[in-house]
Structure 1
Amino acid sequence: MTAVAESAAASTAEVQRPGRRMRALGGWAVVVALVLLGAFIAMQVSVQMPSSRGALDPEGVGDSGAMALAEILRDQGVEVDVARTRPEARTAIGEGATLALSNPYTLTDEGILDLIAPAERVVFLSANTHLLSLLDMGDNAAADSTAVGPSCDTAEFAEVGTIRPDRLFHPADGVEGCFGRDDAAAVLVDETDDQTRVVVEGTRLFSNDYLSENGNAALGLALLGQTERVVWYVPSFEDTDIEAQSPDTLGTLTPGWVTPAILVLLLAGLAAALWRGQRFGPLVAETLPVTVRASETMHGRARLTAKAGDAAHAAEALRAGARRRLARRLGLAVNATADEVADAASDRLRVPRGTLQTLLAGPLPSDDPALVEYARRLQELESAVDETTREMRDPG
């Protein structure tokens, strides 16, 4: 009976084994099919989804693009030509055409001036501090997002209404400021004998996401709809004229005879040391002078500042250190100005330009509570820049 039972059990196991194998293969087949289906759907979505491109790109469909403004211009009968290279833009610029472009950060000063030279009307849809200085149209003012009207006599702005600018400027002498108050304006207009130049910070105003707010669309039409054609140049690193140069080294800056002379002096010094060193006796232990650690010096200065109650001096020290660290993390020179650091940080954090000028170059706190709040804001700014740096290094 035992042998018969064992034989029956073995036969049953052999019959069940193929069934389990088939069920396992069927499960793996379902998993593979789902993976292939997901990959196919992802490929189709990536192929069919249009590119959002960059900020203020007239062909950009993302929130920061400017396709909506370009289409509004075309609906009003304005021909919009998109140029992505400087030769293409210069060829397209003809008599009576408007040249529109965002901040040309990829061009040298000579490249910018050469690009805008043939145009009768140039509209900069965004600008940094260096561009304002190059065009001699003004400098940065304190940020104020309060709704403002035209506040100038320029005819094309009469029907715009009000806007909420992200950045204001102080107009230079001879430059008209519109949409502002006191001595600050959101739009700068400089009319010379042969060219009209307009500067506005429109990264947010003219984006697809905010174009319908307030008078943003009307302002875009007023700036770009004054001529029958608009040549919209899109800056990019593929079209840069900035040539990479190897930094000068000590070897390239010194004459050829300096290195042999240094070697001769080193050999002479070594020979003199061996010659004179034989006359000294054995080494003698000697008490070293008192060494003050850096942390003790730091705490001592901090106590002196606290005792004096000089919150402004302490805040200036904190701000100077923060500017140096931010300049290093943003790839700027050590002696970069506060405006340049603020512009670079705004670009890195994707916040409206002008929002950081007050923090890095504005008035200093006058009491201890304000000093503590000021230090906290500086620390938050540095932490945010560090976080974006880590995200750029490790996109996954």
Structure 2
Amino acid sequence: MSAVHEDRRVPATPDSGPGPAGAARAVSPGVRASLRRGRTWIVVAVALLAGALVLVALQGAVRAPGAPLAADNAAPVGAQALARVLADRGVEVTQVRSLDSALDAARAGATVFLHDDLGVLDRDRVAELATAAEAIVVARPDFAALEVLAPGVRLAGAADGAPGAAACELPAADRAGALSDGQRLLTIDDHAAESGFTGCFASGDGFAVVAGSTPDGADVVLVGSTTPFANETIDEAGNAALAVGLLGARDELVWYLPGPGDADAADAPTLAELTPGWVSPVLVLLVVITIAAGVWRGRRFGPLVVEDLPVHVPASETGEGRARLYARGAARLRSIDQLRIGTIRRLSAVLRLPRSAEVDAVVAAAASATGRPAASVRALLVDAVPRDDRELVRLARELDGLERAVHGAIAPDASLDASDPTGRRT
């Protein structure tokens, strides 16, 4: 045990201060003592880390993996099943996440399947895609896609139950016959009807599928919902027949899911546009209040002035206050080190040792004067580590006993006559 504490002890250096007190500086607490003192915060940190891991695990379990309607996503919201069926039928399916790649494939004559789940594409980029493509199938179109590809076609909510029969001239819809529940509807106004747009699978005034031609002459099919393409619903009713018929009409299919790089940064709203109007005045008011509170409650301006305390603070109160701080922080090792430093300093003076004497010299002199083993004196002055308050009190008493023993050992014999130069007993 003493060897372990020997490694942790700070050796004496010329900068440690004069006398043996500098050679016996306080020893820093070990790893075990530091862990024991900070166990409360360690438990709190472990609990927070465990909670964060549980939250991440729950989010990963609840949140669907992969992008919705991605050709390589096997999750319920993905469309891997449809992509594999099309590949088995000889359709070359290419999934892209950038507009440039989609434009290159569209110009080569491939059918474009578009699903802009996050509304990344603006009107100009949708128009650029419509100009390059010959056939476009859009799943759950947004306002930008409807305004560019099918002017006059509007969103009309969700169908109440399954929509009706196809009742249109679209071959893929006619082969499907019917669709499952959960379809979103589109309406066709007079202008769109005059432009050649027709609806399939009617439900009230809306249709689950709308087909026609874009202003640039490309064939476009708008499917209001993603259910005909998703893994979890493609096998219901005629969903699979509709999806395969729409996307398998040509030998090449570009599966385009717009990514963040396709967004136009110039059209993105600024922070000032997204911030409500009351935020800026409130921030200014908070800054003014903070400055005013700092001036009000802060220190007075000007240079510091040294003044005498109006009262006298006894040294005992200072010592007691420091002792309470050590007790509150369970700093037993630091407490015993302070007692040892004082004991070593006084023993060095009593034993007439030079101020530059090291701790080992004080230990040897004290052991010689009292007749105690040097190992026990060194353990008391240096090596022993109190594990609890009881051991701390015991070591403090033993330090006092050692000091008293040294004083008693070197004190002159009271039976000798100090006035007699021969030292004869009286």
The alignment's TM-score, normalised by the length of structure 1, stands at 0.47
Higher Rg? 2
